[in-house]
Structure 1
Amino acid sequence: MSTPNRVYIARLAGVAVFDPNGDQVGRVRDAVARMRPTQRPPEVVGLVAEMPMRRRIFLSINRITSIDPDAVVLGSGTLNLRRFEKRPNELLVLQELLDRRVQLDTGQAGSVVDVAMESSRGGEWALTRVAVREQTSRLARRGHLHQVEWDRVRGLGGLADSRGTANLLAVLEDMRPADLANALQDLPDARRNEVAAALDDERLADVLGELPEHDQVEILAALDRERAADVLEEMDPDDAADLLNELPPPEQDVLLDLMEPDEATPVRQLLRYASGTAGSVMTSEPVILPPDATVAEALARIREPQLSPAVAAQVFVTRAPLTTPTGRYLGMVHFQALLREPPADLLGGVVVNDIDPLRPTTPLPEITRRMATYDLVAMPVVDRSMRLVGAVTVDDVLDHSLPRDWRDRDAMTGAPADDDAPLDGDNG
């Protein structure tokens, strides 16, 4: 194995995994160690890699030919694509040890910030060293960092009574919201809630939108109500409405009352619509401009980084007011059309209105059929007075067309049998 003799595992989180042909197959998310009945440090038996579609698989340490901070390379052989499941005598190093409160043999208290695995001459990997930061008073600077042998640290075995979140958050901070949501689902409930609560409001709002409904509700319930209301304010109104729909009406009312009125109003409006209709799945904040806005102004608006690709794909043109419900709906302009027009031209001269808009009561199957028929990524939703009240985007349609538990890792099925060829020493 062409690799350093000692590797700190937190530095491997997110590192790409490549097959022998140089094709990326996933990214490292953790290391798996097997506890031993003796006092010897735990044996590292493999890595956990996240594949496309959020499946996490086990990579036997014996099948890895190279490990470094830039890449993990696999040797020849067929991947076992079955979902990884931890065995009773195994330890997920980052998930279970990072931030754990421990004590050095000198009596100094601290928390784990990293763990090193090291290979012996015989090729066996074990957890040999622990990076521990001293616990200090709140007024002091960060404590001294110790890198000590595994057996010099007390508190690494069994369950941790108390853990912080700073180091685990550092490992997770570069993940996309969907990947971070996936990682949270692997944590025990109490640990998941701790980590979620430590995220800032905007980051937590993004992650909640990627979690199954039951996890969303449990995380929100673990927050105090004022914090929960702040997080709901950061969510897109349609996502906030979907989450509130999972709560009892009295709890909905409490949280809505705690939200800022201008943030709560669009959410209240969305909650009025029946489930499975355009009104219940639409966003109430599409890109809206008046007919006398220029093409250049429209292009600048859709470049705003906070807009999702589906929302930024088109501009809806209406009379004033420009917040939903707007003045009369005039039509829409796709971003490709904007790119073909002179920047100084007015939107009123390039607007398209040859496709009938949706009504709030239009059922989801009809929305899907019409979007597929016209190859659209978004459709306007208007009321009886032809005022724009929102837009249904393709991601809204997908989200509500898939089974309710599609985000739940426990509901995922394994790989097909012909793709599930176990490797020697593979977990599972």
Structure 2
Amino acid sequence: MFGLVATPAVAAASPSGGWEGTWATSVHEAHEGFFPNWSLQGFANQTVRQVVRVSQGGPAVRIQLSNRYGKAPIELAGATVGRAGEAEEVSGLRPLTFKHKKSVVIPAGGEIDTDVALLPVRPLESLTVTLYFAKPTGPVTYHGLGFATTYRAAGDHQNDRDGLVFTEKSESWYLLSGVQVLDPSPKRDVVVAFGDSITDGYGAGANTNDRYPDELAERLRGRFGVLNQGIGGNQVLTDWDQAGEAAVKRFKADVLDQPKVRTVIILEGINDIGISDGAGSLVSAKQLIEGHRTLIRQARSKGLRVIGATLLPYKGSPYYSDRGEKVRDELNNWIRTSGEYDAVVDWDKVMADPNDADLMNPAYDVGDGLHPNAAGYQAMAASIDLNTL
């Protein structure tokens, strides 16, 4: 990873601080995915403009780009960062450099940081990261369920401010894995939300920033960073090519390797239950508990505070069965009562139908019995005791 480029402005802003996450996403290998995307075809003489909303502010930023699952190096011809306006418009455009150079080669399996970009950002501000690929990339590492519009155009348009040429659209993020801000405080205070599609925000709607980690960031109003490391379809114990490596495998890269993380909220397990049940070999609660214990041990090895979240009701969803429900109940009971987590957020109870505890409250259900809607995600965030963070 590239270090901070020393400048008087940065030195004055942060004599003893450093980089701290303000936005992140969990990347996975190129795949046709749950929804159409550009990851398998990659890019060639094309510009990609991606929009993200940060959680905390700072006097300067840097961007993380990942080729973690790439089989070949990827050459990036140029990049910029700016403040997002209407549609594809950008203001405050700044060039992104790599050891003072405009272009860079991201090695296969590698990740890089840009040099510092002197773009002050405010909490909950939306930024654009624009990447120009002159040469064919081949398949690219990406995040499938971005639920935010990404734009593409032929040719080099990294410095365009009006964005009129960006006529092609996707709802995934490509190579982009993180945004960090310069933090003048040396405190360790970042929160990571780690999980599956419910953390990822399925059901919240595109470009709404209504995922539960977004709502948590709004409650915190920039006091510290909130990073969303959810992957739709992710499982605790099993890899799935379109839904990332198992949680126990990806935890290091997505949580432990993030700078200044203090707390992680873990919501994982419903996909293990539903997918294994459908395949006729239902995972046991004991297996899931051991998986959660593995995550707890990994977190504690780095001194992190670990919050366990109970699995939401899922009766009425395509995943549901009576025997799967018994596994969910047993896992939830262990999360609540074992004392192995530092704290618990009981989303099973928060999200339950008052008339049937195995059903999600209809007011919070996006309509599939499994995923919350925007009101549900708001209720999840509102139920988190901020003192536990």
Tell me whether the two structures share a fold, i.e. TM-score over 0.5: no
Higher strand share: 2
* Structure with greater Cα Rg: 1
More relative contact order, 1 or 2 (CA 8 Å, 6+ apart): 2
Higher helix share: 1
> TM-score, normalised on structure 2?
0.27
> TM-score, normalised on structure 1?
0.25
